[in-house]
């Protein structure tokens, strides 16, 4: 992802979403980052995890040119109860 193609309000909103989730106790396991022409480096795909007792939840947030999409999974759930494989 080229951050130069992302609308500024999307970049700002994406950052606010991620910071808000981290402030609520989610762990940021970001691995994919991009850099814009103005030297700003930031995540373009963020993976957040949170555990409540033995139940682990994973939230992936992707940033695109003019939209943000998120997916929530329960990686340790029995196969028949999983939101996604």
Among residues of the chain, what percentage have pLDDT more than 70? 69
Residue 67 inside a domain? The answer is yes
Give the count of domains, the chain.
Answer: 1
Residue 84 inside a domain? The answer is no
pLDDT level of residue 65 (50, 70, 90 thresholds): confident
pLDDT level of residue 8 (50, 70, 90 thresholds): confident
pLDDT at position 2 over 70: no
What's the chain look like in SS3? Answer: CCHHHCCHHHHHHHHHHHHHHHHCCCEECCCEEEECCCCCEEEEEEEEEEEECCEEEEEEEEECCCCEEEEEECCCCCHHHCCCC
Q: Residue 54 is part of which domain span?
A: 3-73
pLDDT at position 6 over 90: no
Residue 15 inside a domain? The answer is yes
Residue 13 inside a domain? The answer is yes
């Amino acid at each position: 992802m080229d951050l130069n193609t992302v609308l500024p309000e999307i970049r700002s909103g994406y950052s606010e979403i991620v910071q808000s989730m981290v402030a609520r106790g989610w762990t940021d396991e970001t691995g994919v980052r991009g850099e814009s022409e103005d030297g700003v480096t930031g995540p373009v795909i963020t993976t957040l995890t949170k555990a409540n007792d033995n139940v682990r939840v994973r939230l992936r947030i992707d940033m695109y040119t003019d939209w943000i999409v998120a997916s929530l999974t329960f990686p340790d759930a029995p196969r028949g109860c999983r939101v996604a494989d």
